[in-house]
A and B are shown apart, each in its own frame.
Chain A
Amino acid sequence: MEYIYGTVINEWVKRKKRVYWIISVYALLTFALLVAEVFVKDTSVQQAPEVQWQEQLQAQLAQLIPYKDSLNTSDPAYRQVANQIIIAEHQLAAGVNPEPTGALHWINNDMSGVFIKYILPLIIIIIGADVFSADISSGTIKLFLLSPQGRPKILLSKLLAVFLISSAVTVAIHLLSLCVGLLREKQFGLQDNYVLLDIFERTIVITSWEFTLLGILLTMFSTFSIACMVVFFSLILGHHSGFATLASFWFIMIMDSLLALIKNSAPIVQYFPTFHLDFISHFTGRFDGHSDFMTSLVVLCATNAICLAASWLSIKRKNFAG
């Protein structure tokens, strides 16, 4: 246990500059957006929001329903549209604003979509893509090999370090969103309601803080999956630090766009792991593809298992010779 704790601290010490850097850049961008918004803000439109969202939603529904009917049920977009309609109808019926006005909503909004598909992987790659390769290519891996911990623990603790540091950055970014949200909304909105789908795709209503917790839990799972992939590449391509980072970047951030092009002709590619990273969006009905929550969960679990097993075999058998 003390070995694992020690390695996590070691990796943190080596990476804290990057972490501060990432958070600063993120904060700066958020700040820039806020400032831009203040200047661009159109003050002439001042309507009672209560009425506005319902009208908007109805207008949306009026477009979505014919669109759904025009789609073939095998179309990848069909499921997404159908779920949107179910949620929107429930929101109207239960009087739940799709855009709640509490600060927590700023976090909840961040959790799916672009954040988890591109920003989170980028953060994890910046933090962890060299977790083995930097040490292997510069020879400092000897520090770990010469400690009595043994190789399985080296793998485990480095993976844990990447996971924990990335999670810490995610939490910091969420806190940043929360602060901005508080500045803007002046309230937490803990009790705001959300209409979501459960894992059997039935509508449920949960409160804002419950959604935040659920989101953080699932984000952590996605973070762990990305960390497993990143660590795997870092280990097996360890002799070329830049190459390992590139491989992670390519596999996690580029491959899905390429595979999306052949998704229709080769349905098997829909099980590619990075399509499932955004599996929070199963709950918001926005998941892109045919898979349900369970499929995504299985795909991610299988990915983790494969990456871990391959890394474990690799580090067990590796000759660290020059």
Chain B
Amino acid sequence: MQRNKVIEVNHVSKRLGNRTIIDNLSLHVNEGEIVGFLGPNGSGKTTSIRMMTGMIKPDQGSIKIMGYDIQAEFSLAMKHIGAIVEQPALYGYLSGWENLMQAVRISGMQINKERIEWCVRMVQLQERMQEKVQRYSLGMKQRLAIAQALLTQPKMIILDEPTNGLDPSGIIEMRTLIHKLRDETGVSVFISSHLLSEIEQLCDRVIVIDQGKTLAAKEMSSLGHAAIALTVQDDQLQSAYHLLQLEGLHPVLQNARILIQEEAKRIPSLVNHLYQRGIHVYWIEKTKQSLEDFFLDTTQGKERK
């Protein structure tokens, strides 16, 4: 099925302060998709997002939102996106409700009270709207900013590290919220993070960026080829590794486990084989190749060159 592209970034480059921060970056987000934008700190995620939201202009390349060029047709393009870039843009000395009103007044559209209240319920802040934002926790501020971004019923929301600095329960809440949003409204979500573990469970697709270049884009569903993790005693890790190699497998050491790609029906005989050589397997788990491995593979693979 050919899906519509909500945003399309084509061969964008940007120099800032005599350094190429973004180098020939291309990416797109389809309708209704949750796309992760992964990269270590300083890799250019925020700079990319600033360009995607018109806050800085690319030196080269083009950015289209719903087919509108962000330079030439700024107003038409920006009507379709809501975004949080780095810190939420909130006034601490105003109430939560007034902060939403500030956005409503310059949204360029009619936004009725029901819509605002719907956004507030979505982020579960209805109890706290009259309170000043400076008394909000970081997680509440992030949620208020999401409500703000949702006011105009955008086709896509762009979130720049929304879980940065949140505690574990805050991170889970955020994840739940983003899923709920997409499921209930079909909005596309473009979410950046330097923490792989967060994005892993959230996204349909991830794009990895490092030093201003996209390294790889990957469907999450294509990541999960069954790998089997064997846990053995630490001092037997090396000998087990070699034995498995001798069996013609390509084992991978990960933490205190050995990962192998193998069909399930061969597992019992493999374990038996190890047992006969005096190596005791304590746990057998089925794992996915985690995004972390994929991420490390791609970023390190690049550095080795």
By the criterion CB–CB under 8 Å, are B16 and A10 in contact?
Answer: no
Shortest CB-to-CB span from A182 to chain B, Å, is 37
> Is A145 located at the chain interface by the 8 A CB criterion?
yes
Give how many B residues have a beta carbon under 8 Å from the other chain's beta carbons: 34
Closest residue on chain A to residue B74 by CB atoms: A150
A112-120, A135-143, A225-233: which lies at the B interface? A135-143
A1-9, A64-72, A93-101, A245-253: which lies at the B interface? A1-9
Closest residue on chain A to residue B76 by CB atoms: A148
- Beyond A10-B102, A13-B98, A149-B108, is A139–B74 a contact (Cβ under 8 Å)? no
- Beyond A143-B89, A145-B55, is A6–B79 a contact (Cβ under 8 Å)? no
Residues of A within 8 A of B90 (CB): 140
Residues of A within 8 A of B77 (CB): 148
By the criterion CB–CB under 8 Å, are A2 and B108 in contact?
Answer: yes
Closest residue on chain A to residue B80 by CB atoms: A148
Residues of A within 8 A of B108 (CB): 2-3, 147-149
Give how many A residues have a beta carbon under 8 Å from the other chain's beta carbons: 25
Partner of A145, one of B53, B79, B148: B53
By the criterion CB–CB under 8 Å, are B75 and A148 in contact?
Answer: yes
> Is B50 located at the chain interface by the 8 A CB criterion?
yes
By the criterion CB–CB under 8 Å, are B87 and A13 in contact?
Answer: no
> Is A45 located at the chain interface by the 8 A CB criterion?
no
- Beyond A139-B87, A139-B89, A319-B56, is A6–B78 a contact (Cβ under 8 Å)? no
- Beyond A13-B98, A146-B83, A147-B78, is A140–B105 a contact (Cβ under 8 Å)? no
Residues of A within 8 A of B83 (CB): 146
Q: Can you list, as one digit per residue, whether each of A141-160 has a CB less than 8 Å from chain B (1) or not (0)? A: 11111111110000000000
Closest residue on chain A to residue B86 by CB atoms: A139
By the criterion CB–CB under 8 Å, are A321 and B55 in contact?
Answer: yes
Complex Cα gap A114–B57 (Å): 46
By the criterion CB–CB under 8 Å, are B55 and A320 in contact?
Answer: yes
By the criterion CB–CB under 8 Å, are B106 and A319 in contact?
Answer: no
Shortest CB-to-CB span from B69 to chain A, Å, is 13
Residues of A within 8 A of B54 (CB): 145-146
Residues of A within 8 A of B98 (CB): 13
Shortest CB-to-CB span from B246 to chain A, Å, is 55
Complex Cα gap A145–B74 (Å): 11
> Is B274 located at the chain interface by the 8 A CB criterion?
no
By the criterion CB–CB under 8 Å, are B91 and A140 in contact?
Answer: yes
Partner of A320, one of B50, B78, B105, B106: B50
18 further A-B pairs in the complex, CB-CB below 8 A; given A139-B89, A141-B89, A150-B75 = A6-B106, A7-B105, A10-B106, A14-B91, A142-B89, A143-B89, A145-B53, A146-B78, A146-B82, A146-B83, A146-B85, A148-B74, A148-B76, A148-B107, A148-B108, A149-B108, A319-B57, A320-B56
- Which residues of B are at the interface with A, using a C-beta cutoff of 8 A? 16, 46-47, 50, 53-57, 74-79, 82-83, 85-87, 89-91, 94, 98, 101-108, 148
Query: Which A-B residue pairs are the 9 nearest by beta carbons?
Result: A6-B105, A148-B78, A142-B89, A319-B56, A148-B75, A143-B89, A147-B106, A6-B106, A320-B55
